[in-house]
Amino acid sequence: MESPNDQAYDACLREALAQMGEWVPRWLVQLKDLLVQKELAASHLREKQGWIEARTALEGHLNFLSIRIVETLAEAVGNALPELTSAPRKLSGLSFDELELMGDDQVQEKVEEARVLQVIKIAADDDLVDLNARMCRAKGFAQVRPELNPLRSEIVVRALIKAVNSVHVAVPVRNAWLQTGAVSLGKELAAMYVRLGKLMDSWGVQPAEYKVLLSPESRGAGMAPIAQPATGNESATPRTAQGEQASLLNLDQLHKLLVGNLEQIGSQPSAMGASGSGNAMVRTLAAEVVTLMLKSIAEDQRLLPPIRSLLLDMKPALLQLASSDPRFFADRQNPARRLLDAITERSLAFRSEYEGGYATFADEVHEIQRALEVPGNDLPQRFERLLARFIASQVTALAPSQILARGKAVKTLVRVEQRNLLAERVAAEFQARNDFERAPGVVKRFVLGPWAQVVAQARIDAAESDGGSPADSPALRYAQILPDLLWSTYLAAASQNRPRLIRVIPNVLRTLREGLDSIDYARTDAETFFKALMGLHEAAYKAQRVELSEGATPTTHRQSAAETWVQPAEAKDSGFMDDLDMDTQPAFVNTEPMARDPREMDGTEPLLPVGTWVDVAQDGQALRCQLDWASPHGTMFLFSTAEGKQLSMTRRTLERQLLQSKVRVVADHGLVDDALNEVARQAWINSVKVSGVADTEHGSL
């Protein structure tokens, strides 16, 4: 990132809010005039009455709306960036699971939001391009990230709809306001974007560059960008890719299919005898969902081509199942849905067809596909048997030694986390001592780091032993040596009492060596510290009597505890990745920060969900791993490869690796979920198109 120009950025936001206070009342007056025109042009009495109701309601709430919209816009702009850090659902974003929980009114409201946004983006987004670039530059980004502009049209539309929905009027009236005023609102936004862009230019804020997407061959070795499924576009404008087959499914139909609320047109049961399955509409819609779902899976570049092909070959069986169980894809416990989830999840373990274990996996999937081709009415039971067999094969794929190694790694990392959390508390105890602040920096760092680990380990050992904590236990001796250690390194005091200095030094050195050996501390690092310590002791012994005023001035800042300490044997058992030698530069060219910076997250919040597949850069190559386990306090993470290799790291290491693109997330949830979300998106697009055509043909509210 470049140096941000926060002053220009904040000034632009203040100017935008001031301009909103001017154009919002003007837009509402324009909206009233447009409603009058619609009223006069209406040819049918019912249509005219609808426009009259919309106009009179607007006139009655004009002042309230003017104030409320400006307030909501100000709130939305102020909260836009923090909202991004919590990964909000975009206005266009609609997951398959969310749709099932919606009511009919919420589904229709979603469609109306999309239609308004589409119109406004067409009118305003061309003029938003330059402002996006300048706002990103002001935030310190060399490349444009439109989602970081809190003035973008999605934020404005979301705030506008929130304000309009706060008015107690009929839903058709609110829809009439939004649809009628969308074009004029887009023009007002476009004019504001132009004015703000010119203002930023007058302040010397240059536009950031738009990112050029490179082919995988031109990227860093071994770590090509991860292809993601085509699940929507960043602009949130509903549009269908060129050449894409038209879909009949709309959002309302999909919603009713999921909640089982489609009218039962057919009266005859199907051959499978399922209740209500004779409904031709239900079967048709279910078949279309399956088709769109498989189409999305086939386009997901995270899956290897042979696996995608085999999954497509399962389409006849899935269509047959949909005729008897139309909602199988929405039921996560359905054997067919679970089988798709299991196959796609396991396929993420392989980056190429030449990796170990892939051939066996592909053969298993091929056998499943052939078993589903066999004719018969036992298809649901067949899916259940195939799922059980596939799960069993995955369990037995790992050798017993690999399973034991994973268990040992988990046990080791639990112990590491326990010791390090205790070491933090021990370090806080040491730091609170009255004699701590006057010690030299090298001693402070040692006490808060390695020695806190020594004391923590000794306390854990004492707690696990049956003998309690006798007076000569290591846990007590290691803590009791601290006063002598700190005093002996304070030149002003130690130089005045050489007899005591001579008396305490041997015990201090002996105890320190014993403690460091107890945690297998690196000998070279220990000798470096002892060399510095003996230099301090020698200086105190040779110095003349030093007045307290001439001694070292106590530091006023608080020292931080050392990084997570892992003993060499523990590192070996868990495949630990040390971050001490990590550089501060990204490992791959043209990297972009995460949508959510790990540094802005709550330290107790999971950094990645267990089950996430990632690519880890190691020696110029990408290692495909899955997050197998996260420690109870979220400070340690254990990954494993398809062949059972263990890899662990601390939270701090993982955060840095993510920021530097040395760890790239491949998938943090199911690929079938992505495919079904794409189905919901396509249904949403179809709903916008159908609604738009209907309005054009009928010209009514």
In the chain, where the domains are located: 6-211, 251-259+272-397+675-679, 438-550, 572-669
Say what the pLDDT of residue 262 is.
61
Rounded Cα distance between 460 and 423, Å, is 10
Question: Token digits for 267?
Answer: 């009266």
Question: Which of 424, 338, 325, 425 lies closest to 387, judged by CA?
Answer: 338
Question: Which of 524, 358, 380 lies closest to 450, judged by CA?
Answer: 524
Distance, first Cα to last Cα, the chain: 49
* Spatial CB neighbours of 357, under 8 Å, sequence gap ≥ 6: 349, 350, 397, 642, 643
Question: Token digits for 178?
Answer: 């939004």
Question: Which of 188, 126, 129 lies closest to 157, judged by CA?
Answer: 188
Phi and psi at residue 392, to the nearest 5°: -65, -40
Rounded Cα distance between 148 and 693, Å, is 34
Q: Running along the chain, 701 residues long, what does each successive block of 10 average in pLDDT?
A: 76 92 94 94 90 94 92 83 40 72 79 82 88 88 84 87 89 89 93 94 88 43 51 41 54 84 47 47 89 94 95 95 90 94 94 91 95 92 95 83 88 92 93 91 93 93 72 85 92 87 92 94 92 91 56 41 76 80 40 44 68 90 92 92 89 89 91 93 79 44 40
Phi and psi at residue 648, to the nearest 5°: -130, 155
Rounded Cα distance between 296 and 292, Å, is 6
Question: Which of 73, 2, 13 lies closest to 200, judged by CA?
Answer: 13
* Spatial CB neighbours of 451, under 8 Å, sequence gap ≥ 6: 430, 478, 482, 512, 515
Give the chain's radius of gyration (CA, Å). Answer: 33
Rounded Cα distance between 610 and 148, Å, is 28
Q: How many CB atoms lie within 10 A of CB 24?
A: 20
Say what the pLDDT of residue 258 is.
86
Question: Which of 269, 268, 295, 265 lies closest to 282, judged by CA?
Answer: 265
Say what the pLDDT of residue 91 is.
41
Question: Token digits for 600?
Answer: 């802005």
**Helix pair angle (523-542, 498-518), 10° resolution:** 180
Say what the pLDDT of residue 226 is.
56
Question: Which of 162, 169, 157 lies closest to 61, judged by CA?
Answer: 169
Phi and psi at residue 63, to the nearest 5°: -65, -45
Reported as type and span, the H/E element at residue 637 is strand 636-640
Rounded Cα distance between 449 and 199, Å, is 52
- Give the tens place of pLDDT for each residue, 207-218: 888 765 444 333
Contact 338, 346 (CB under 8 A): no
Q: Count Cβ neighbours within 10 Å for each residue of 295-311 and write b for 16 or more, e otherwise.
A: bbbeebebbbeebbebb
Which residue's structure tokens are 């509903």?
238
Contact 496, 550 (CB under 8 A): no
- Nearest 10 degrees: Cα torsion 411, 416, 421, 423: 140
3-state secondary structure at position 694: helix
Question: Domain 572-669 adopts which CATH fold?
Answer: SH3 type barrels. (2.30.30)
3-state secondary structure at position 623: strand
Amino acid (1-letter code) at residue 650:
T
Contact 293, 679 (CB under 8 A): yes
Q: How far from the centroid of its chain's Cα atoms is residue 212's Cα?
A: 23
Question: Which of 350, 207, 230 lies closest to 299, judged by CA?
Answer: 230
3-state secondary structure at position 622: strand
Phi and psi at residue 639, to the nearest 5°: -110, 160
Question: Which of 344, 363, 243, 329 lies closest to 297, judged by CA?
Answer: 344
Rounded Cα distance between 391 and 361, Å, is 12
**Helix pair angle (358-373, 315-324), 10° resolution:** 50
- Longest CA–CA span in the chain (Å) reads 110
- Nearest 10 degrees: Cα torsion 283, 284, 286, 289: 170
Question: Which of 402, 342, 388 lies closest to 611, judged by CA?
Answer: 342
